[in-house]
Amino acid sequence: MDTLLAVRARGITKCFGDVVALDGVDLDVAQGRIHGLVGPNGAGKTTLLGLLLGLAVADAGHLDILGTPIGRLLAAPEGVAGFVDGPGLYPSLTARQNLAALAALRGRDARTAGIDDVLDQVGLTDVADDRARGFSLGMRQRLGLAAALLTTPRLLVLDEPSNGLDPAGKKHVHGVLTRLAAEGAAVVLSSHRMDDLEALCSDVTILATGRTVFSGPLGKLAAESRELDYRLLTSDQRAASRLAHDTAGVRVVDEAATWRGADVLVVRAPTPALDDLVARIVRDGVAVREVGPVQSPLEAAFLALTEQEAAR
């Protein structure tokens, strides 16, 4: 059975005067999945998010959202919610009053709109009656997410939702997004935080200069043939270095690097060669205390792909 798509975009082009913001972009976002959208500043991410939210229309291409073809009108179909460039809030109103005002705009009774529930979901119950003007950036982001949740979205579009979040706030936001996807909603998440994307997303699209340079499952970015830099902390760094020099497919990058106060060995290798090196180290009686990428697979792929695009 074909995967049900919340978003299907083909050849989307958007220009602002002589500036081409999006240049023939394709995008598939499956229902029940969290889809990451990444790229350097000016890549076209905000423009694409605006199209998904009905804040702009494409100059060319075809866009279906929740099964509805999107035409030339500034509108998104029912079931789409989110924000771009931060949520719009009334600073003089409390968190609860902001949500009540939004519910009223949608013709709903604030008493039955589920305001207390969404405030609890994003961890703002204790400040529900505080004015939004005193909120930190992270609290405003969470209130914006609560506003989106009031609509029970089938497609949630978020721009940098982790901005300003402390660990507790991040836990609340991650929990909400994971639950929504498990319940069948699609989430499009734009972020510069690679750790957030790797923790949450099953699929990712990388944009550079308005073009798609990668789109697909996150695991494809960490393909076994791709070389990455890894740091190794062992009980005998000299022995580990000797074995690294002798292992096919492994290149020693730094024999005297420091990581969190400890001396580590940095090597560059594809996954199979790294696995072979670790096995040889263990067989040699050396304890492997830590092994991990210097850069995450997503961050490494992002930098490589965007640098390639910029060099064209």
The tens digit of pLDDT for each residue in 263-285 reads 899 999 988 999 999 999 999 99
Q: Evaluate if residue 1 carries a pLDDT over 60.
A: no
Type of residue at 106: R
Would you state the pLDDT for residue 222?
A: 61
Per the CB < 8 A criterion, the answer to whether 45 and 191 are in contact is: no
Q: Calculate mean pLDDT across residues 203-207.
A: 92
Q: Calculate mean pLDDT across residues 159-171.
A: 85
User: pLDDT exceeding 90 applies to what percent of the chain?
Assistant: 55
Give the pLDDT confidence of 29-79 residue by residue, as tens digits: 999 999 999 888 888 999 999 999 999 999 999 999 999 999 877 677 889
**DSSP per position, 252-297:** EEEEEEEETTEEEEEEEE-HHHHHHHHHHHHHTT--EEEEEESS-H
Q: Evaluate if residue 224 carries a pLDDT over 80.
A: no
C-alpha Rg value of the chain to the nearest Å: 23
Would you state the pLDDT for residue 113?
A: 72
The DSSP 8-state label assigned to residue 182 in this structure reads H
Reported confidence tier of residue 199, pLDDT bands at 50, 70, 90: confident
Q: Calculate mean pLDDT across residues 80-106.
A: 89
CATH 3.30.70.250 residue spans of the chain: 223-311
Handedness of CA 223, 229, 234, 240 (dihedral sign): positive
What integer best gives the mean pLDDT of the chain?
A: 88
Would you state the pLDDT for residue 45?
A: 93
CATH 3.40.50.300 residue spans of the chain: 5-221
Reported confidence tier of residue 167, pLDDT bands at 50, 70, 90: confident
Reported confidence tier of residue 311, pLDDT bands at 50, 70, 90: low
How far is Cα 148 from Cα 106, in angstroms, rounded to an integer?
12
Reported confidence tier of residue 312, pLDDT bands at 50, 70, 90: low
Q: Evaluate if residue 308 carries a pLDDT over 70.
A: no
Q: Evaluate if residue 296 carries a pLDDT over 90.
A: no
Q: Evaluate if residue 297 carries a pLDDT over 50.
A: yes
Please state which CATH class domain 5-221 belongs to.
alpha beta
**DSSP per position, 57-113:** --SEEEEEETTEE--SSS---TTEEEESSS----TTSBHHHHHHHHHHHTT--GGGT
Residue 51 corresponds to which tokens in the numbers above?
């199209």
The hierarchical CATH code for the domain 223-311 is: 3.30.70.250
Does the pTM of the predicted model rise above 0.75? yes
Q: Evaluate if residue 2 carries a pLDDT over 60.
A: no
